[in-house]
């Protein structure tokens, strides 16, 4: 039997896909870099202890969505394509989750 307190203040956990989780992690990683710095998929993957192959797919998605700017080659890397305060996390979740589940 539940108490009224547990019914009113019951907390539900949000279940995110790995793709969305990694998207948020990569955006946070890039937001914490200095303005003149670029990040790489490998450095971000090492920082979080996650798969660089999967993170590369996530980075590609974020580039296509316009949140991240990617530059190939020597001296290339990833950086935010807009200021961090303009990024809406709800939009990121909606765009990276399977929309049929929401």
As beta bridge partners, residue 79 has: 69
Task: Tell me the CATH class for 15-101.
Answer: mainly alpha
Per-residue pLDDT at 45 exceeds 90: yes
d(CA 20, CA 23): 5
pTM above 0.75, yes or no: yes
What are the residues whose beta carbons fall under 8 Å from the beta carbon of 37, sequence distance 6 or more?
Answer: 79
Q: Can you give the pLDDT at residue 75? A: 76
94 alpha carbon, distance to own chain's centre: 12
What is the residue extent of each domain of the chain? 15-101
71-77's contacts with Cβ under 8 Å and 24+ in sequence apart are 71/38, 75/38, 76/38, 77/38, 77/39, 77/40
């Amino acid at each position: 039997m539940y108490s009224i307190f547990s019914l009113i203040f019951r907390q539900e956990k949000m279940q995110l896909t790995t793709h969305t989780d990694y998207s948020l992690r990569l955006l946070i990683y890039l937001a914490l870099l200095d303005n003149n710095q670029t990040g790489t998929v490998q450095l971000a993957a090492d920082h979080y202890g996650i798969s660089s192959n999967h993170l590369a797919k996530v980075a590609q998605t974020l580039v296509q969505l316009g949140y991240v700017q990617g530059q190939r080659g020597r001296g290339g890397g990833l950086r935010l394509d807009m200021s961090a305060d303009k990024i809406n996390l709800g939009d990121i979740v909606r765009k990276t989750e399977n929309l049929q589940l929401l």
